[in-house]
Amino acid sequence: MQGKIYLVPCPIIEDGISSLPPATLEVLHTLDHFIVERARTARRFIKESGHPKPISELEIFELDKHGKVEGLKDFIFKTKKGSSIGVISEAGCPGVADPGADIVAIAHREDIDVSPCVGPSSILLALMSSGMSGQSFCFNGYLSNKKLALVKQLKTLESIAHKQKQTQIFMDAPYRNEFLLSTCKDSLRPNTMLCVAVDISASTEYIKTKKVSEWESAEFKFFHKRPAIVMIG
Amino acid sequence: MQGKIYLVPCPIIEDGISSLPPATLEVLHTLDHFIVERARTARRFIKESGHPKPISELEIFELDKHGKVEGLKDFIFKTKKGSSIGVISEAGCPGVADPGADIVAIAHREDIDVSPCVGPSSILLALMSSGMSGQSFCFNGYLSNKKLALVKQLKTLESIAHKQKQTQIFMDAPYRNEFLLSTCKDSLRPNTMLCVAVDISASTEYIKTKKVSEWESAEFKFFHKRPAIVMIG
């Protein structure tokens, strides 16, 4: 029988194994073959999950930083001989703001079954907690790190958010949070709702939705270098 | 100390308690107060989860079908006196294509802390398994059930999907899947990728991405009345 590709989420916080469902760990523990974003952290995660086999007996294929796929297709083809493969990204759900989609696309083309496992996604957790529309929403990934281009992007997203009642989700590298949020405050309309969700699922978790005009610039410095999801609606 | 609002996902399949992480059940089991989409199913879920208290001792506030909020604000204000409240929707994550956002919005306005728990979301699981971009994606909810309007919406979404390399996610009532998918086949470009994800997480799960031209109309009848997420990219 042909193997499957399983999408296996991993925790988004330190010591976060309890954020994974038993059903996900059960799948993980049946797997001997993995395609991972980074081998070192994936090995640690697999070990901490209580995988029944010694890590040294597992076959782990590490994705190249630049998405190079040499040898990847051969590895995926192990499913044709019956081995199932787990795909694990650096944090959260593979394929969502993380590598993994290319592997799944190959699987579909090659008629290999794909199955997703439940786990944490900071994007989804942030959206749930924002109080903004979850009937229509858009994840836009990283916006520009250049001021003028960013202002233009933010105004476009704000306009879509209002016209279509569609929550606009985005993020930046944690060290640029202050830049991103100050630019939001300076360029968005005072009545636009702005949600900042930092350190999701950690003990330092902070999630707040306020009007742009209600945010104080001084508050943004508390978000420095903390993983954040930003939403407007 | 003031209580919090916890967003508590529930299973998306029958007997799906194992799709919920221990950390989520741990939070659920500390709660005595709930705002729920439907009391009957929420009670069953809470009981099956192994909640330590008899269901009859829990305070459960059922949301009105029409989103009427009479008494809702008073119930939310129990947090001011120290009671935390769990929000539970009919299936999956509250606030994402499900009620819950209004409650969270009230919480933010009233300075009540909100915290999300990890659990299954068919939208996210479908996206992970599609092989389409998870760097940029849009959930559009239910599209029109009128043919002409639907064709127009699909063409607009297709155009955005291609121009912005943004996966477009949508759905319909399960009994209208054939209508939705046939309209996709008839109105989208042959090379557009179309993913159909049905019965996610169930034993009958089926997830397939193919070019529009590769889908056969006859295949769509197998999706009749099965919960489906549809994506184009």
B123-181 pLDDT per residue, tens: 999 999 999 999 999 999 999 999 999 999 999 999 999 999 999 999 999 999 999 99
Please check the confidence at residue A65 and state whether its pLDDT lies above 90: no
Residues of B in contact with A195 (CB under 8 A): 108
CB contact under 8 A, B125 and A118: yes
The ipTM of this complex is 0.95
pLDDT tens, position by position, B165-216: 999 999 999 999 999 999 999 999 999 999 999 999 999 999 999 999 999 9
In sign, the C-alpha dihedral spanning B6, B9, B15, B18 is negative
Chain B interface disruption, residue of A37, A108, A112, A118, most B CBs within 10 A: A118
Give residues 38 to 67 of B whose Cβ lies within 8 Å of A. Answer: none
Minimum-distance CB partner of B128 among A94, A106, A127: A94
pLDDT of amino acid A101: 92
pLDDT band at B229; cut points 50, 70, 90: very high
Question: What is the distance between the alpha carbons of residues B177 and B156, in angstroms, rounded to a whole number?
Answer: 20
The answer to which of A28-32, A67-71, B16-20 has the lowest mean pLDDT is A67-71
Chain A interface disruption, residue of B14, B37, B118, most A CBs within 10 A: B118
Q: Strands A85-88 and A33-36: what pairing? A: parallel
Please check the confidence at residue A70 and state whether its pLDDT lies above 90: no
Residues A212-232: what's their mean pLDDT?
96
pLDDT tens, position by position, A152-170: 999 999 999 999 999 999 9
Residue B124 Cα, gap to closest chain A Cα (Å): 8
pLDDT of amino acid A40: 94
Angle formed at CA B225 by CA B222 and CA B231, multiple of 5 degrees: 75
pLDDT band at A206; cut points 50, 70, 90: very high
CB contact under 8 A, A96 and B124: yes
pLDDT of amino acid B66: 63
Give residues 66 to 125 of B whose Cβ lies within 8 Å of A. Answer: 93-98, 100-108, 113-116, 118-121, 124-125
Q: Which fold has domain A122-232?
A: 3.30.950
Q: Where in chain B is the domain with CATH 3.40.1010.10?
A: 5-116
pLDDT tens, position by position, A119-133: 999 999 999 999 999
Question: What is the distance between the alpha carbons of residues A196 and A206, in angstroms, rounded to a whole number?
Answer: 8
The side-by-side arrangement of strands in the sheet containing B114-116 is: B59-62, B33-36, B85-88, B5-7, B114-116
pLDDT of amino acid A64: 78
pLDDT of amino acid B99: 84
Question: What is the distance between the alpha carbons of residues A177 and A206, in angstroms, rounded to a whole number?
Answer: 14
Residue A193's closest chain B neighbor by CA?
A: B105
Residue B24's closest chain A neighbor by CA?
A: A19
Tokens standing for residue B98 = 């499900």
Residues of B in contact with A25 (CB under 8 A): none
Q: Strands B137-142 and A137-142: what pairing? A: antiparallel
Give me chain A's average pLDDT, please: 95
Tokens standing for residue A199 = 């350190």
Minimum-distance CB partner of A18 among B22, B100, B136: B22
Please check the confidence at residue B86 and state whether its pLDDT lies above 70: yes
Tokens standing for residue B84 = 């935390």
CB contact under 8 A, B108 and A200: no
CA A163 to chain CA centroid, Å, is 27
Please check the confidence at residue A53 and state whether its pLDDT lies above 90: yes
pLDDT tens, position by position, A87-99: 999 999 999 988 8
Please check the confidence at residue A66 and state whether its pLDDT lies above 70: no
pLDDT tens, position by position, B17-68: 999 999 999 999 999 999 999 999 999 999 999 999 999 999 999 987 665 6
Residues B209-230: what's their mean pLDDT?
96
CATH 3.40.1010.10 is right for the domain spanning B5-116: yes
Residues A187-206: what's their mean pLDDT?
97
Q: Does B198 touch chain A (CB under 8 A)?
A: no
Chain A interface disruption, residue of B129, B160, B166, B168, most A CBs within 10 A: B129
Q: Where in chain B is the domain with CATH 3.30.950.10?
A: 122-232
Start-to-end CA span in chain A (Å): 48
Judged by DSSP in three states, A159 sits in helix
Chain B interface disruption, residue of A124, A163, A169, most B CBs within 10 A: A124
Judged by DSSP in three states, B19 sits in helix
Type of residue found at A223: F
Q: Does B126 touch chain A (CB under 8 A)?
A: yes
Please check the confidence at residue A82 and state whether its pLDDT lies above 80: yes
pLDDT of amino acid B140: 97
- Provide the whole-model pTM: 0.96
Beta carbons of B163 and B209 less than 8 angstroms apart:
no
Beta strands in chain B (DSSP E): 5-7, 33-36, 59-62, 85-88, 114-116, 137-142, 167-171, 193-198, 206-211, 228-232
Residue B18 Cα, gap to closest chain A Cα (Å): 5
- Burial class of residue B53 in the structure, from the number of CB atoms within 10 Å of its CB (0-12 exposed, 13-18 middle, 19+ buried): exposed
Residue B202's closest chain A neighbor by CA?
A: A115
Q: Show Cβ contacts of residue B189 under 8 Å, excluding neighbours closer than 6 positions.
A: B158, B212
